[in-house]
Structure 1
Amino acid sequence: MTPERHRFVIMGVSGSGKTTVGAAVAARLGLKFIDGDRLHPPENIEKMAQGIALQDADRWPWLDRVGDRLRPGTIIACSSLRRAYRDRIRSRAGGPVVFLYLRGRRDTLAGRMRQREGHFMPAALLDSQLATLEEPGADEAVVIADIEEPLDRIVATLIAGTRRGAGPKMPGG
């Protein structure tokens, strides 16, 4: 697989490192990186900042924006928690999409969320995200990395998976 010809979404719950890892992968592969949080309508950001979990009706316009901005040679950070959300992104993207899934334990995610500053998503919403999460199915193009690993190893795992060709669920790459 030549990464510059493919569309990538780096996914996972809040605190998984989507922005940090996505930007690092994009830099290493010479791809464009877009933080999907910047594509949220202002109403969504306000809800989350108030500790109100988004509903599907809130997410659809955001997911459409993500799919519409996803072009070959692009990585977009987007939680993509449910299969229906990933399907929505795929339907808008205009071509195949590979999901780079950052999987992590609740305690690690919660610790990361408590430490970050200036982000609109409060740690109180982590449990609702974990409850919503549907891990990618065996039939989805996905590369999985464990967030317990150091950043350089996570990036290497994802890059190796993209180069091998992300087929149905590829744990550890």
Structure 2
Amino acid sequence: MDEQQHDAAVAGFLEKLKGRGLRLTAQREVLFRIIAENLGIPSTVQDIWGKTRALDPSIGIATVYRTVNLLAEMGMVNVIYLNEGQFRLEMPEQKLHISAFCRHCGSLFPLGGEQEKQETLEQWMVETGVELLPQSIAIAGLCEKCREDLKDENASPADQGPFGRPGHCPRRRRFRGGTPG
């Protein structure tokens, strides 16, 4: 995202907030700037919080959570949840965005055919009496490169965990033949 797009995103956030009668605080403006800088980049609330604290140490992590949720509820950003607290924020270009991501390396793959998928989901929602809200859906899988890399038994996703990091579950055991241990 270039500087002009970044400034336009921040201005859009502020304008929508004002249009809803919500307060425009200095903290929110700092957060909007950091969020706009992180659009399209895998992040965590802690990442955004760390960057905002460098500019305004009075911003708490709860404020970051509330602001991300507020922007998502207002349809101003789509939150694509990846793994272990990671997400990716994107400006909504359409009501529905569906992508796939590799649970091992974190790469994101657009699936295409958005309009047809949106029409199908909207029809399902109409049948239930619910309106489809703007959102992003990320479907986990393993990309071709990681599947190839993981053919080695010692490099399985169960051992390595998401994004190639060690798994977080201390109780996880892999059955390697013989009796489970």
TM-score normalised by length of structure 1: 0.27
TM-score by length of 2: 0.26
- Larger relative contact order (CA 8 Å, sep ≥ 6): 1
Structure number, greater radius of gyration: 2
